[in-house]
A and B are shown apart, each in its own frame.
Chain A
Amino acid sequence: MTAFTTETPARAASVGTAHTRVEGRDKVTGAARYAGEVPFADLAHGWLVLSTVARGRIRALDSEPVLAMPGVLAVLDHRNAPRLETDYAGLMGSRPDPTCAVFQHDRVPHLGWPVALVVAETSEQAREAAEALVVHYEQADHDVDFTGEHPDAYPLDGHAPAVTEKGDLDAALAASAVVVDAEYTTPEEHHNPMEPHAATARWDGGRLEVVDSNQGATWVVGELASLFSLDPASVRVRSEHVGGGFGSKGVRAHQVAAVMAATLLQRPVRVVLTRRQMFSLAGYRSPTTQRVRLGADSDGRLRALEHRSVSLTSTVHEFVEPSAGVARVMYDADAHHTANRVVRRDVPTPTWMRAPGEAPGSFALEAALDELAEGCGVDPIELRLRNEPAKGPVSGLPFAGRHLAACFREGARRFGWADRDPRPGLRRDGRLLLGTGTAAASFPAGAAPSTATATAYPDGTFTVRISAADIGTGARTALTLVAADALQVSPERVRVRIGDSDFGPAMIAGGSMGTRSWSWAITVAAGELRERLALGAEIPAEGITVRSDTAAAIGALAPAERHSFGAQFAEVSVDVTTGEVRVRRMLGIFAAGRIVNPLTARNQFLGGMIWGISMALHEEAVRDRASGGHVGADLAGYHVATHADVPRIEADWIDDTDPDDPVGIKGIGEIGIVGAAAAIANAVWHATGVRHRSLPIRPDRVIAAGASGV
Chain B
Amino acid sequence: MREFGYERAYDVAGAVALLGADPDTRFLGGGTNLVDLMKSGVERPARLVDIRELPLAGIEPTPEGGLRIGATVTNGDLAAHPEVRRRYPALAQAVLAGASGQLRNMATVGGNLLQRTRCGYFTDVTKPCNKRVPGSGCPAVAGEHHNGAILGASEHCVAVHPSDMAVALTAFDAVVRFETADGPGELPLADFYLPVGDTPHRETALPPGALITGVTLPPAPVAAASRYRKVRERASYAFAIGSVAAALDIRDGVVHDARLALGAVASRPWRAVTAERVLTGAPAGPESYAAAADAELAAARPLPHNAYKVDLLRNLVVAVLTDLAEEAAR
Contacts and interface: CB of A to CB of B under 8 A. Distances in A.
Genuine A/B complex:
yes
Interface of A: 52, 124, 127-128, 131, 276, 431, 577-580, 582, 617-618, 622, 624-627, 629-634, 636-637, 639, 641-645, 698-700, 703-704
6 contacts: A578-B312, A579-B231, A624-B127, A642-B236, A699-B233, A699-B241
B236 A643 contact: yes
A167 B141 CA distance: 50
A624 B40 CA distance: 19
A642 B120 contact: no
A624 B143 contact: yes
B281 interface: no
B143 A625 contact: yes
B329 interface: no
B3 to A, nearest CB: 7
A632 B231 contact: no
Contacts, number: 99
B236 A703 contact: no
B234 A617 contact: yes
Interface string B132-150: 0000000100111010000
B3 A631 contact: no
Nearest to A127: B1
Interface size bracket, B side: 20 to 34
Contact of A704 (B2, B3, B308): B308
Contacts of B124: 276, 629, 631, 633
Given A631-B121, A700-B146, A626 B231 contact: no
Interface string B304-322: 0110100110011001000
B236 A632 contact: no
A604 B257 CA distance: 54
Given A579-B231, A624-B143, A631-B144, 19 more contacts: A127-B1, A128-B1, A276-B124, A577-B316, A578-B312, A578-B316, A618-B234, A624-B139, A629-B124, A631-B120, A631-B121, A637-B120, A641-B234, A642-B236, A643-B236, A644-B235, A700-B306, A700-B312, A704-B308
A529 B79 CA distance: 64
A622 B311 contact: no
A242 B231 CA distance: 36
A122 to B, nearest CB: 10
A626 B144 CA distance: 10
| Cβ-closest 6 pairs across A and B | A632-B120, A644-B236, A631-B120, A644-B235, A577-B315, A700-B308
A622 B234 contact: no
A627 B127 contact: yes
A580 B139 contact: no
Interface in B108-163: 118, 120-121, 123-124, 126-127, 139, 142-144, 146
B308 A124 contact: no
B41 interface: yes
B126 A629 contact: yes
Contacts of B328: none
Contacts of A128: 1-3
B10 interface: no
Nearest to B242: A578
B298 interface: no
- Interface centre among A124, A626, A631, by most chain B C-beta atoms within 10 angstroms, is A631
Contacts of A631: 120-121, 124, 127, 143-144
A229 B238 CA distance: 48
Contacts of B127: 624, 627, 629, 631
Nearest to A583: B235
Given A131-B41, A624-B144, A703-B312, A645 B234 contact: yes
B237 interface: yes
B231 A699 contact: yes
Contacts of B235: 582, 642, 644-645
Interface in B176-226: none
Contact of B118 (A618, A625, A636): A636
Nearest to A700: B308
A628 B127 CA distance: 11
A692 to B, nearest CB: 14
B120 A699 contact: no
B44 to A, nearest CB: 10
A582 B139 CA distance: 32
Contacts of B143: 624-626, 631
Nearest to B235: A644
A618 B233 contact: yes
Contacts of A131: 41
A644 B237 CA distance: 9
A642 B308 contact: no
Interface string B237-251: 110011000000000
A645 B319 contact: no
Find the residue from B123, B126, B238, B319 having the highest chain A CB count within 10 A.
Answer: B126
Interface centre among B41, B311, B316 (most CB of A within 10 A): B311
Given A124-B1, A639-B234, A626 B308 contact: no
A626 B142 contact: yes
Contacts of A703: 308, 311-312, 315
Contacts of A580: 231
B243 to A, nearest CB: 10
Given A128-B2, A631-B144, A578 B238 contact: no
Contacts of B2: 128
